[in-house]
Amino acid sequence: MASSTIAALAAVGLVLASASGGEKAPPDPRDYGPDHIDISGYPAEQQREYMVYSIKCAKCHPLARSVNAKYNAQDWKRYLKRMIRRPNSGINEEQAQAIYDFLKFHSSKMGY
């Protein structure tokens, strides 16, 4: 009886651990490219927005995933709406706007 209770508790623990919000997303091919953007030539506003982007987006997946995504402004808008709805993203509306503004600027600069 005690061993079945321990086994049940262990199973519950595994389920809860796998459902935790701080978990990283599974690997993606874009994860293996460059993991930062050289913003030294970007305007001050985009440099500030990059800081929000780099902190918030790296919370759930490698920054390389978004650095290597060839998305245009419309793609980023749709993608960000999905990300801010994730339970533990920690991205508020103001931060989402800063992230979007940075990604829109960067994607335009890259020609996407």
- 52 located within any domain: yes
Q: What is the pLDDT of residue 23?
A: 61
Neighbour-count burial for 59-72, b at 16+ CB within 10 Å, e otherwise: bbbbbbbbbbbebe
Boundaries of domain holding 51: 24-110
pLDDT digits (tens, 9 = 90+) for 32-43: 999 999 999 999
Q: How many structural domains comprise the chain?
A: 1
Please indicate, yes or no, if residue 16 is contained in any of the structural domains. Answer: no
Q: pLDDT tens for residues 41-50?
A: 999 999 999 9
pTM: 0.74
Question: Does the pLDDT value for residue 82 go beyond 60?
Answer: yes
Other beta carbons within 10 Å of 31: 17
Position 10 pLDDT exceeds 60: no
With 0-12 / 13-18 / 19 or more C-beta atoms within 10 angstroms meaning exposed / middle / buried, residue 82 is exposed
